[in-house]
Amino acid sequence: MPRPERSYRTPAIILKRFDLGEADRLLTILTPQYGKLEAVAKGARKLTSHKTGHVELFTRADMLLNRGRELDVVNQCEMTAAYLPLREDLMRGAYANYCAEMLDRFTSSGEDDGAARLFKLFDETLARLCAETDPRLVVRYYELHLLDIVGYRPELARCVIGGETIQAEDQYFSNAEGGVVCPKDAVRGTATTQISMRALKVLRHLQRGGYPQALIVPPELHEEVERVQQGYITYLLERRLKSVDFIRRVR
Ligand SMILES: [Zn+2]
């Protein structure tokens, strides 16, 4: 949805912030209608700023923004969720940071495709990162659903080479093909990693629907799930960055 001509009100989560000049801050925010945006919070670094004082990282706020020629300007900012543990607990903060960075790298500013789903997912993830005892499962769930929204949903039910239904046995995962490959079709050494049936079941469970509150994953299985997902994400980001580089060079 294009932003209104003059000013608009929106919920927003602060993904990134940079100091700008003496008193201002440049924010990267996520909104449910307009996707990811950059905006300036004027005077945000002054202690006396009441209007835009609450521009802490990973908070949710209701914002009133004015359309600028280059950058929009935050006119009012009222915090609606503080997510305090993300700034008080180093580990929870580190996971939130990772989630924000992943979102930042898989999206472009002003892209509103799937913005509402993305906002909901990110907001719920921050809340879970504050509350859950094991943040790793929160992050794995987030990764899978973010990939789905940005168009890289991994195929976990059928072999991505032969198309046949995956049998209950250990399998392979192809980063290049974006999904599971059966042992028969697996070509070793071409970005294909092994994945146990148990790990595949965890992935499917996470991909299928709502957040699995009651799921308990043993540590070694957790490591395997993380290794497979990280391999896929790293592969996608490198390809994405290369494609961005390529477009720049062509220009
Ligand atoms: Zn196959």
Looking at residue 141, its pLDDT comes to: 97
Separation CA 92–CA 89 (nearest Å): 5
Looking at residue 158, its pLDDT comes to: 96
DSSP 8-state assignment for residue 1: -
Same domain flag for 132 and 245: yes
Separation CA 199–CA 204 (nearest Å): 9
Same domain flag for 156 and 225: yes
- Ligand 1 centroid to 201 CA: how many Å? 18
Q: Give the CA dihedral 113, 27, 58, 104, nearest 10 degrees.
A: 40
Domain residue limits at 67: 7-81
- Ligand 1 centroid to 162 CA: how many Å? 4
CB atoms within 10 A of CB 9: 12
Could you give the C-alpha distances from 43 to 25, 76, 161, in angstroms and in order?
8, 12, 56
Residue 141 maps to a domain: yes
Separation CA 2–CA 172 (nearest Å): 42
CB atoms within 10 A of CB 200: 22
Tell which of 25, 59, 81 closes a domain. Answer: 81
Q: How many domains does the chain have?
A: 2
- Ligand 1 centroid to 231 CA: how many Å? 21
- Ligand 1 centroid to 49 CA: how many Å? 61
DSSP 8-state assignment for residue 3: P
Give the pLDDT confidence of 42-71 residue by residue, as tens digits.
887 776 655 555 689 999 999 999 998 888
Separation CA 207–CA 63 (nearest Å): 32
CB atoms within 10 A of CB 241: 11
Residue 29 maps to a domain: yes
Could you give the C-alpha distances from 31 to 3, 60, 67, 125, 152, in angstroms and in order?
11, 10, 15, 15, 21
Tell which of 81, 107, 134 closes a domain. Answer: 81
- Ligand 1 centroid to 159 CA: how many Å? 5
Looking at residue 1, its pLDDT comes to: 74
Q: What is the CATH number of the domain that holds 48?
A: 2.40.50.140
Tell which of 81, 99, 130 closes a domain. Answer: 81
Q: What is the pTM assigned to this prediction? A: 0.91
Residue 171 maps to a domain: yes
Return per-residue pLDDT of the chain as tens, 251 residues: 788 889 999 999 999 999 988 888 999 999 999 999 999 998 877 766 555 556 899 999 999 999 988 889 999 999 999 999 999 999 999 999 999 999 999 999 888 889 999 999 999 999 999 999 889 999 999 999 999 999 999 999 999 999 999 999 999 999 999 999 999 898 755 658 999 999 999 999 999 988 988 888 999 999 999 999 999 999 999 887 676 666 667 66
